[in-house]
Amino acid sequence: MKNLTATKLYALAFGLFLGLCIWKFGNPVILDHKISAPTTLAEFLSEPWPLHWANWILLPLTMIGGLLVFKNRNLGHSEKLEIRNWKLKMKWLWLLPLAWLGWQFLSATQTVDADLTRATLWQFSGCVICYFLGALIFSRDHLWRWLLPDWSHEKNPGPRDIAKAAADLGVPYVLVTGIHLPDQHTENVLATAHTVMVSEKFERFDAIFSGAGDTLSAAVTAILSSGTDLESATHEALGYLDQSLNNGFRPGMGHVLPDRLFWAEADDEETDEDGEDHSLATAEDFSLPEHKTRH
């Protein structure tokens, strides 16, 4: 119970609420008027609940979450700076939900069914509130804040400090990634409670990636399964991740995706010693000559 903080209790309550929404509030909002309130214990357990009940459950969660947002302002200077920089980079992620919700309210002025529109706007507002509660309270909550809730130093804990806390919970190794260094570099460290096993530094890419952590986890797992020791597997997986990010691509207007098959791409020009071109065939190589026969 010593490590049970207000944020952890709120995370538990918020997670239970989201689970309750899936379990009891899964019906379309347009059918809310057809859902009867349960009157017996059996109905409470087996029947869906009226959707407007979710609004009254979310209301106190929103008020408590707002208090936690202000409470988290007591973070250290370095943490505040990191969170502020993150918010500036992700500004469009803050504006899009608000713009979308504003457009819904604007469209509601042309409604043909005021009661149905009112219920729908309540649900849309609840979705946006949940988004911002998650973004403001949980999204930048580092692992070390859960492992070291009593950490009071101005400087963030190092990999060894995190590894020691993890060892107390039965985790012998910890891979700490994305440690910011000067000159646009990041450090990734594999540590135990007693020593640093691997330390790799890479140039930090000026992009937001989606799937970098998944790529690293899958690479470490695959290399370990081949019988490689943990140190070598971590070193090789970090190098693989760096190359995947370096060759990353953006399929649309969203985040950059790691190119996990960068190693299979052929060079622009592949010729042997005789000067013959062995580059991969393209669609033009298989095209038929133009048909010029006249009838």
Model confidence at 4, pLDDT cuts 50, 70, 90, reads low
Q: Average pLDDT of 153-166?
A: 82
Cβ contact 172:185 at 8 Å: no
Residues 116 and 167 reside in one and the same domain: no
Model confidence at 188, pLDDT cuts 50, 70, 90, reads very high
Which pTM value belongs to this model?
A: 0.50
Task: Compute, in degrees rounded to 10, the torsion defined by CA atoms 133, 55, 39, 45.
Answer: -30
In total, the chain counts a number of residues equal to: 295
The total of other beta-carbon atoms located within 10 Å of residue 212's CB is 20
pLDDT at 271: 47
Cβ contact 173:163 at 8 Å: yes
Residues 91 and 160 reside in one and the same domain: no
pLDDT tens per residue across span 9-51: 888 899 999 999 999 998 898 888 888 999 999 999 999 999 9
Residues 12 and 115 reside in one and the same domain: yes
Residues 169 and 222 reside in one and the same domain: yes
Of residues 51 and 145, more confidence is placed in 51
Task: Tell me which of 141, 175, 203 is where a domain ends.
Answer: 141
pLDDT at 139: 62
Residues 104 and 199 reside in one and the same domain: no
Task: Tell me which of 141, 171, 188 is where a domain ends.
Answer: 141
Non-local CB neighbours of 151 within 8 Å, separated by 6+ positions = 144, 145, 157, 161
The total of other beta-carbon atoms located within 10 Å of residue 146's CB is 14
pLDDT at 255: 85
pLDDT tens per residue across span 68-117: 877 765 555 555 555 555 555 556 677 888 999 999 999 999 999 998 99
Cβ contact 83:140 at 8 Å: yes
Number of separate domains in the chain? 2
> 282 lies in a domain?
no
Residues 171 and 258 reside in one and the same domain: yes
User: End-to-end alpha-carbon separation of the chain, Å?
Assistant: 91
Residues 20 and 137 reside in one and the same domain: yes
Share of the chain above pLDDT 90, in %: 42
pLDDT at 101: 94
pLDDT at 6: 81
Closest CA to 101 of 78, 83, 123: 123
Asked if pLDDT for residue 153 goes beyond 80, the answer is no
pLDDT tens per residue across span 194-220: 999 999 999 888 888 888 999 999 999
> 35 lies in a domain?
yes
Alpha-carbon distances of 13 from 79, 177, 200, rounded to whole Å: 25, 29, 39
Residues 248 and 177 reside in one and the same domain: yes
> 286 lies in a domain?
no
Residue 112, CB-side half-sphere exposure with 13 Å CA sphere? 0
pLDDT tens per residue across span 222-246: 999 999 999 999 999 999 999 999 9
Range of the domain at 159: 152-263
If you average pLDDT over each of 36-50, 78-92, 170-184, 274-288, which comes out highest? 36-50
Instruction: Dig out the tokens for 229 from the structure.
Output: 């020791």
